[in-house]
Amino acid sequence: MKKNKILITGAFGFIGSHLTEYFIENGYDVIAFDRYNNFNNYGWLEYSKYKKSIEFILGDIRDYDSVSKALKKSSTCLHLAALIGIPYSYYSPLAYLKTNVEGTYNILESSKNLNIDQVIITSTSETYGSAQYTPMDENHPLVGQSPYSASKIAADQLALSYYKSFETPIKIIRPFNVYGPRQSLRAVIPTIISQLNKSNVVRLGNLEAYRDYTYVLDLCSAYKAIMKTNYFFGKVVNTGSGKCYSINEIVSLISKKLEIKNLKIILEKKRMRPIKSEVNKLISSADLLKTKTKWKEKYHFSNGLDKTIAWIKENDKILKPDFYNV
């Protein structure tokens, strides 16, 4: 085990790739762990300017042996590997249990046996379900309104049980909606931008869902703040802005930035959740994080949208805005 060496699971994806680069920029040695593939492809890190500085390990979060071998090389683990698409969780709930719950078990059990210094488990605001009060602090009830959110609740509770039962040094970061460059088109902001970058027509589902958005680099700094703060051992901590926007408001903001004329919104049933599964409003209280650390957001929502729009315009050839993938 090497001090100051961080294992990041799910490192090839949207948040994981940014987090890998962020910690390298901050002087850490980083091991990027993600799913084995025959092409030795490193996802978004394939194009990273820090590629030569990263140690890559290909494995499977569902496989205890590969997880344990990767963890042996690190002192800290940032666990992000997960199935995250809510619509697909309606089609294959078991896949979410195997990846999100069993995968988290592999991290926890390996960390316990290897005496890892700390493990930060990545949760989601979806675990709260529709807001019962706002802003939503860490004491808000947990409500599994989709198989995805239920799997994340189970993973979080398993992590907390390891802290209480075995003193496994876990912390749980619970981000509200994150956005920025490299995000999948399954997320609403890149979906809107990529479609309106091609035409004046945007196809969406529920326009009245309200969400609290955090730019991805602000989330990266939150991970570091939590990692540096002992108070958070055995606790859940929210990130977020405390502000929310409806999907309709976001369409309006983006269409103005792209100077869209004669905007046309088409509502498609296939993009809507089952009525009882719809999470209507999520607004974060990040007071715990802000009072226990010096963390604060650097990117205003409008500035973050500008950066995301610029990235999508630069990478429009690799995106598929006309294809809806659950």
- Residue 177's nearest CA partner among 253, 238, 117 is 238
CA-closest candidate to residue 20, choices 62, 56, 73: 56
| Tens place of pLDDT per residue across the chain (326 aa) | 556 799 999 999 999 999 999 999 999 999 999 999 998 899 999 999 999 999 999 999 999 999 999 999 999 999 999 999 999 999 999 999 999 999 999 999 999 999 999 999 999 999 999 999 999 999 999 999 999 999 999 999 999 999 999 999 999 999 999 999 999 998 999 999 999 999 999 999 999 999 999 999 999 999 999 999 999 999 999 999 999 999 999 999 999 999 999 999 999 999 999 999 999 999 999 999 999 999 999 999 999 999 999 999 999 888 887 777 77
CB 140 within 8 A of CB 133: yes
Q: Domains, the chain, ranges and CATH?
A: 5-178+215-238 (3.40.50.720), 181-211+243-318 (3.90.25.10)
- Of 239, 244, 144, 251, which Cα lies nearest the Cα of 191? 251
Q: How far apart are CA 150 and CA 145, in angstroms?
A: 7
**What are the structure tokens assigned to 137, written together?**
């602090």
Which among 5, 52, 61 has a CA at the least distance from the CA of 33? Answer: 61
